[in-house]
A and B are shown apart, each in its own frame.
Chain A
Amino acid sequence: MFSFIKRHQIILASAVLGLISLHLASTTRKGTGGEVIVRAVLSATAAPFQKALLAAEGKVAGVWSGYVYFVGLKKENAELGKTVQSLVEENLRLREEASLNARLKELLRFKDDFPPRTLAARIIGMSDFGLSGGWTRTIVLDAGSGDGVGVDMPVVSHRGVVGRIIAVTSRTSTALLITDPRSAVDVIDQRTRIKGLAEGNGEELVLKYIRRLDDVAVGDGLVTTGLSPVFPRGLSVGTVTKVENGEDNFFKHIEVGPASDIKKLEEVLVITDGNTAGADKTEGGQPTVPDGRVRKGKPQTRGKERP
Chain B
Amino acid sequence: MSLKTNYRQAVKAFQPAPPYFFNSVKAFVVGGLLCALAEWLAKWYSSFFSISAISAQQLAVMTMMFFAIVLTGAGKYDDFSQFAGAGATMLMTGLANALASAAIEHRSEGWTAGIASQMFKSGGAAIVYGIVAAYLLGLFYYIVS
A and B from one assembly?
no
Residues of chain B touching chain A, judged by Cβ–Cβ distance below 8 Å, are none
Which A residues are within 8 Å of any B CB, using their own CB?
A: none
